[in-house]
Amino acid sequence: MHSGAWLPVSAWDDSGAWKRLIDWINKDCPNVGGRLIITPTLFDRLNGPDGLRRIAKGAARVDAHGNGRGRLWEAGDGPIVVVWPEERTVQNCVRTVAGLPQQSIILLEEAVPDAQSFRGWASAVGAFNAEKGQHEHSHPDLEEQLDTILTGYENELALAPISRAYTTSAAILREKLQAVSAGGFDEDFVVTYAIALGYQGDLERLRRHYSAARQN
């Protein structure tokens, strides 16, 4: 699994957190080919806070659709930095670094409309939490549950959870998702944890399945 770092929403205006993040990048991330910065659009400005400006300086740049400026990122390059991350974008980044040793993804969150928390992703990869100055911890039991669900119930997850009578396998899927819910994990946590595990299915559908299971 890739490594990573995480700046949560609550640390966006914390200059100390940005310094810790930059120190982590300099220490832990090889910079052979430079960093790649991904933002929702190329019109997004990266000149503030100062920590973001420093991270973005000299880096190649693309938007969430892959359109950008500069040399394309290649295996062996520096970390992929996702600013104002969206679930599909992070899912694509995880696919990009799959199987590549010593590759890192860095997520920089800010309080923007409809933003999801990526704490689940950060926990799964043991990401460096720049706010706390320490690494997050994974949840082995949750990981085992999700591995069973994501690999054993792909067909059921591909269908929308609807009100008609469940088939036997779909009913089992619902029960397994309810068992995950019993651990107190919210939708953002579960979906972004699944992203970190390499899940390439429909994220919105996974979210709807989990929401339906929690309500029953």
Please report the domains of the chain, with CATH numbers, ordered by start residue.
3-135 (3.40.50), 140-215 (no CATH)
| pTM of the predicted model as reported, rounded to 2 decimal places | 0.94
pLDDT of 31 > 80? The answer is: no
Distance CA 3, CA 106 (A): 9
**Residue 28: closest CA among 124, 131, 137, 135:** 135
CA 177, CA 201: separation in Å to the nearest integer?
Answer: 16
CA–CA separation, 22 and 28 (whole Å): 10
> How far is 191 from 11, CA to CA, in rounded Å?
22
> What is the residue-wise DSSP string for 83-122?
ES--HHHHHHHHHHHTT-TT-EEEEE----TTPPP-HHHH
pLDDT of 134 higher than 60: yes
Is the distance from CB of 170 to CB of 156 less than 8 angstroms? yes
Tell me the sheet residues that pair with 69.
Answer: 61
What is the per-residue pLDDT for 164?
Answer: 53
Of the listed ranges 17-31, 66-80, 111-125, 147-161, the least confidently predicted one is: 66-80
- pLDDT (tens digit, 9 = 90+) per residue, 59-109? 999 999 989 876 678 888 889 999 999 999 999 999 999 988 789 999 999
What confidence tens digit (pLDDT) does each residue in 174-200 have? 999 999 999 999 999 999 999 999 999
Q: How far apart are the first and last CA of the chain?
A: 33
Cα–Cα distances in Å, from 49 out to 33, 35, 180?
24, 18, 37
Residue 216 CA to residue 210 CA, distance in Å, equals 10
pLDDT band at 22 (very low <50, low <70, confident <90, very high): very high
